[in-house]
Amino acid sequence: MNIVEPILFHARNQPEAPALCTPGNDVVTYATLAAQMNNVARRAISVGLRRGSIVALSIPDQLTHSVVILGLTQVGIIPVSVGMRKSPAGLKIDAVLSTTNYPFAPPAQHHPLDLTWIMGDGRPVETSRDSASESDEICRIMLTTGTTGESKAVALTHRLAMVRNARYQFLQGSHLPACSRIFLDIGVATAVGYYFLTYFLGRGGTLFFRGDNIEKALRSFGTLRIQVMQTWTGNLAHLLEICDRDPSCAFHLDTIFCGGNVLSQTMYDRVRSRLCSHMLCRYGATETGTTAAAPAEHITHIPGAVGYVVPGATVEIVDESDRRLPIGSEGIVRIASEVAVDRYIDDPVASAKCFRNGWFYPGDLGSLTEDNLLIISGRVNSVLNVGGGKIAAEKLEAVIAAFDGVSQAAVVVVESENGNDEVWAAIVHSEKIDAESLIAHCRKRMPPAFVPKRVVMLDELPLNATGKVDRQDLKEMLLKAAPA
C-alpha cells in the first residue's frame, strides 16, 4: 500500500474537512489537498520525473512542503527534504524542487517551485502500479546528522513508515490516538515531522503549522481548538518567553509531545504551570524510530531520564569493546529495534561505524535502571576534555540549568589567549541572572577545571533540525560575542 492512500480515502469520505492550516491563512480541506497533490504529481511527470526518481526539496513553507511531499509520493517519486543542507555525497539526486536558490546537486535538474506546480484542475494521475510490491518500495529519504554531524541518508519504505506510524497508538499513551488537531512546531523535513504529517492525515485529522509569525499562531490556539503540540525541548524556552512577554499569546493545551534534548525539572515546572499540565517525552533516532518514552511527570526529577524502553526495542549499555555493562553502569548506548534500518544509503563507511551485528550506535552515553528507564548522560562526541579531565557537556549544562532563572544552558570548550582550554557557557534566562552567583553555584557542583570562565546571555540557543544544540554554531557565536 502507498502511504498516501489513507489520505486520499479521507478526501473522498470527508472532502470538506480541514487537513492543513497555517493560522491566518486559508484552510486546506481534504478535497483541496487531494487536488493539489494530483497537480504536483502531474507536473512532476511532465518534467520527466518517474517512479523511483529521487527529488531534493528546499521549501521553507511547511504547508507547501507537505503538499509536494505527498504529491510526489503518490506516484512513486521519492522526496528528500534538504533545506539548505548539502546532501550526502553518495546520494544520487535526480532533480531539485526549490522556492529558494539551492546551490548544491549541480548534475541534477533544477526546477523553481511556484504556484503553477500546485494549481490546476486536480484530476487524478493515472500511473502503472503494482500494489503487491509497492509496500516495499522506498517512499521517503530522511537526512540525519547521526553521530558525526555529517548528513547521511536513511531510506523508508511505505511498509516501514506505516509500521512506525501504527506504533503511535501506544507509544504516546492514550492522549495521541484521541486527538485530531495538532500544532506541528517542527518541520516536516524531520523524521518526527514526517511521521506526524502522514499519521494525522491518515487518520483524517488536522495539522497546523506555525508560519512566519509564531505570536499570531499562538493567539489562534483557542479559536482553532488545537489540542496537542509536537515540539522540541529547545523550542519550549522560546515559547515560554513569548507568553511571558505577551499574555495574549498564552495558551493551554491538553498535551505537549516533546523530543530533542533531555527535559529538565525546571523547564518542566515552567511548562506545566504556563502551557500544559501533561507532557510526554520521547527519545529516538531517524534510524530506529522511537526507542523510549514516558510522561514527563514520571521522569523529570531523574537527571538525564528520557523514557522507558518501548515494546519492540532493546537497549544495551556497553563499553568501548562492546562488552555489555551491568545495570546502572554508564557506557555507550546501542539499540536494536524491529522498526530500525540497517544502513545508510551508499555510505558503507558510516554504516559500518554505526550499524554492527544488528545494533545501531546513536553516539550517546547513558545507563539503564532495573525497570528499563533509559538515562542519557551525554554524547560521545560532546565529552569535554579540559586539563586532562573529562566530563559530558550535558552534565555541566544540567547543573547550570538548575540555577534559578536559567531556562536553557549549553557549554563549549574555547582556547584562551594563553593557549589553555576553558569552558564557556551560554544561557537563556527567564529572569535577571547574576553571573557571579551562577559561577558560585557551579563551583559547588563541578570539578574546578570545568567551572565556566565566561557566561554569555543569549535570547536563544542555536539548534539543529532535530532540536539539539548546534555546538559549532554556538562556539562561533560566543567567540564573536567575546570582547576583543
For the stretch 349-365, pLDDT in tens is 999 999 999 999 999 99
Q: How far is CA 480 from CA 437, 475, 477, 483, in A?
A: 24, 9, 5, 8
Report the candidate in 241, 11, 5, 250 with the shortest Cα–Cα distance to residue 139: 5
**Whole-number average pLDDT of the chain:** 90
Secondary structure class of 43 (helix, strand, coil): helix
CA distance 225 to 116: 32
Residue 129 predicted with pLDDT over 70:
no
Domain formed by 381-481, architecture: 2-Layer Sandwich (3.30)
**Higher confidence at residue 480 or residue 376?**
376
Question: Comparing 336 with 150, which gets the higher pLDDT?
Answer: 336
Answer yes or no: is pLDDT of 147 > 50: no
pLDDT band at 294 (very low <50, low <70, confident <90, very high): very high
| d(C-alpha 346, C-alpha 189), whole Å | 20
pLDDT at 478: 87
Model pLDDT, residue 199: 95
pLDDT exceeds 50 at position 394: yes
Q: Residue 130: which pLDDT band, with cuts at 50, 70 and 90?
A: low
- Does position 318 have pLDDT exceeding 50, yes or no? yes
Which tens digits make up the pLDDT trace of 27-42? 999 999 999 999 999 9
Q: Which CATH architecture has domain 5-226?
A: 3-Layer(aba) Sandwich (3.40)
Among 396, 336, 329, CA closest to 367: 329
* Burial (CB count <10 Å: 0-12, 13-18, 19+), residue 101: exposed
Per-residue pLDDT reduced to its tens digit, 235-275 = 888 888 888 888 888 888 999 999 877 888 888 888 888 88
10 Å Cβ neighbour count for 429? 19
DSSP 388-426: TEEEEHHHHHHHHHTSTTEEEEEEEEEE-TTS-EEEEEE
Residue 332 has pLDDT above 90, yes or no: yes
For helices 158-166 and 191-202, angle between their N-to-C axes, nearest 10 degrees: 80
CB 285 within 8 A of CB 306: no
Give the residue-averaged pLDDT of 376-403.
84
Average pLDDT over residues 422-426: 91
What would you measure as the largest C-alpha separation in the chain, in angstroms? 70
Q: What is the mean pLDDT of residues 389-403?
A: 87
Could you tell me which residue, 273 or 59, shows the higher pLDDT? Answer: 59
Q: Answer positive or negative: Cα dihedral of 233, 239, 244, 249.
A: negative
pLDDT of residue 90: 85
Pairing relationship of beta strands 109-112 and 95-98 according to DSSP bridges: parallel
Name the band, by pLDDT with cuts 50, 70 and 90, for residue 424.
very high
Q: Buried b vs exposed e over 137-151: b needs ≥16 C-beta within 10 Å?
A: bbbbbbbbbbbeeeb
Domain locations in the chain as residue ranges:
5-226, 381-481
What pLDDT score was predicted for residue 400? Answer: 92
- The top-scoring range by mean pLDDT among 140-149, 199-208, 433-442, 475-484 is 199-208
The predicted pLDDT at position 247 comes to: 86
Q: Look at residue 131 in the predicted model and tell me its pLDDT.
A: 67
Predicted pLDDT of residue 146: 52
Residue 385 has pLDDT above 50, yes or no: yes
Q: What angle do CA 393, 398, 399 make, to 5 degrees?
A: 100
C-alpha to C-alpha distance for 466 and 122, rounded to whole angstroms: 34
CA dihedral 103, 105, 106, 111 (to 10 degrees): -80
pLDDT of residue 484: 53
Q: What is the pLDDT of residue 150?
A: 74
